[in-house]
Structure 1
Amino acid sequence: MNVYDEYIKDVTKIGRFTMILGLIVSILPPAVMTWGFGFNPGIGAIIAGAISQISVSGAFYFSEPISYFPIVGRAGLYMGFLSGNLVNMRIPAAVSALEGSGYKSGTDEGAIMGTIGIGVSIWVGIIFLLLAVFAGQSVLSALPQSFTTMLSLIIPALFGGVFAQFAIKSPKAGIFAIAVAYIMTKAVAFIPGQPSFIVTLVSVFATIAFAKKQLSKQIDGK
């Protein structure tokens, strides 16, 4: 067993433990409110809320690990899912680390660079979160309205930047992804309840299938 395999073995042990610990900590507050203080909305409300949340983000359970694993590897997935903000903070940081290091996604070296990028973003996020908690509200209230309106464009800008970095490497796959997402967005509008998770599910797996087909053609042509 080489060094990287030993590293992954240790990552798996620690990652599973921290994910289970995170699950327990997440359940602890509502458990205390329910059995400690007697505040409970009722099983009907809990089931309704669970169904509502699953309908919105249930597709991410399947699409995100598959989409992000080549970029951040196993350790990055454990860290990203435990810390949160995977799409709008961790993945851009991991992509920047990959671009800066020169390693390719899908390789052992690339996975390590992606993990380092996520680790740095977590510490930076903690520092800025502490600053925002203690001074953020007073600073934001002093900013002009035009600036605070501009802040709402940060997440679309991050999505666009990450997409562009990968679309440049495979323009056909990028165009296909945009086309499928646009078509699915329009199609979902006609479905009762407008289940938006279908857009993500179809777009991710359809683009993976398209990119795989393109890669097969390139390999066969050599």
Structure 2
Amino acid sequence: MTTDTVQSPAYTTYDRTTSRWGRITMVLALVFSWGGPLYLILLSDLDLTQAQLWIGFAAVAASFGVIWFIEPVTYFPVLGPASMYQAFMIGNIANKLLPSAIVAQAAIGAKPGTRRAELAAVMAIGGAAVVHIVSLLLFVGLLGTWLVGLIPETVTEVARLYIFPAIIGAVIVQLAVYVKNVRITVVAFAVALVVQLVAVPMIGGLFASFGTAVTVAVTMVLAWVLRENPNRRKMTR
């Protein structure tokens, strides 16, 4: 049996420690994130009614609420429990941390869901966070205003329009290579095209806010139904 199938004492301690401190740091982050809004509501001169607060919450939930469920479900199989705490504390998961973890796991040949893959994701996310902080301090904190003044406005506009789609496109390609399953890749691509280019323009309204959730849900169902099943193959022989 491999180390990925045997629960070693060292890994048990590691899992227990990361889970304990992960929960503590996530709760602290939640408290601090509430600090600013609570100060504005309770101690400032803002005249906000309870109805206005609920309307604002409903507006945010309608736009981003689906992500609260999609992201944990879709990221966990790749990142593992320890890296999930890291990722949601740091942010920029889809366009920075997840690609870093995938590249690290692919570089050492770690299979998804194994302890080796989880440890690779932890190290990759730690490295990505360090690079991010150093680059922010250097290129934004120290040189940001100077660099922006040197870049032509036309270049800035092109970057604003195309950099984010380019990053997301690269992430999708990395995920397809990571999964190494042509059937799932084709199904996901076809469902995304139908939902985003056909269903959303035709239906519009509230459905547009849940287009991503519909795409993920339909892809998951079809991938499970169309999966390669050895028992089914035996029955057809």
Task: Tell me the TM-score normalised to structure 2 length.
Answer: 0.84
The answer to whether the 8 Å contact 2:95/2:171 transfers is: no
How many pairs are equivalent?
A: 222
User: 1:203 and 2:206 equivalent?
Assistant: no
Q: Distance in 2 between matches of 1:76 and 1:190?
A: 39
1:25-104 matched pairs, under 5 angstroms: 25-104=32-111
The answer to whether the 8 Å contact 2:101/2:120 transfers is: yes
Deviations 1:10-50 (A, max 9, x none): 11111111111011000101212222223243322221221
**Large movers: runs of 4+ above 6 Å:** none
Classify the secondary structure of the residue corresponding to 1:59. helix
Residue 165 of structure 2 is matched in structure 1 by: 156
1:165-184 matched pairs, under 5 angstroms: 165-168=174-177, 169-184=180-195
Residue 210 (structure 1) shift: 2.9
Residue 10 of structure 1 is matched in structure 2 by: 17
Residue 74 (structure 1) shift: 0.8
Q: Distance in 1 between matches of 2:170 and 2:70?
A: 20
Q: Which amino acid aligns with 2:201?
A: A
Residue 220 (structure 1) shift: 5.0
Q: Distance in 1 between matches of 2:122 and 2:229?
A: 31
Unaligned runs of 5+ in 2: 1-6
1:91-170 matched pairs, under 5 angstroms: 91-131=98-138, 132-152=140-160, 153-168=162-177, 169-170=180-181
Stretch deviating more after TM superposition (142-151 or 118-127): 142-151
Q: Distance in 2 between matches of 1:219 and 1:126?
A: 50
The verdict on how the C-alpha distance between 1:213 and 1:109 changes in structure 2, with shifts beyond 3 A counting, is: farther
The answer to whether the 8 Å contact 2:187/2:223 transfers is: no
Classify the secondary structure of the residue corresponding to 2:205. coil
The answer to whether the 8 Å contact 1:56/1:195 transfers is: no
Determine which of 181, 200, 224 is the counterpart of 1:212: 224
Q: Distance in 2 between matches of 1:95 and 1:197?
A: 28
The answer to whether the 8 Å contact 2:83/2:125 transfers is: yes
Q: Distance in 2 between matches of 1:17 and 1:74?
A: 14
Q: Distance in 1 between matches of 2:169 and 2:96?
A: 13
Q: Which amino acid aligns with 1:110?
A: A
Q: Distance in 1 between matches of 2:152 and 2:30?
A: 40
The answer to whether the 8 Å contact 1:167/1:174 transfers is: yes
Stretch deviating more after TM superposition (179-188 or 190-199): 190-199
The verdict on how the C-alpha distance between 1:220 and 1:166 changes in structure 2, with shifts beyond 3 A counting, is: farther
The answer to whether the 8 Å contact 2:99/2:174 transfers is: no
Q: Which amino acid aligns with 2:186?
A: I
Unaligned runs of 5+ in 1: none
Deviations 1:99-145 (A, max 9, x none): 22221222111121112211111122222222313321320221123
Classify the secondary structure of the residue corresponding to 1:159. helix
| Structure of larger gyration radius | 2
Classify the secondary structure of the residue corresponding to 2:155. helix
Residue 214 (structure 1) shift: 4.3
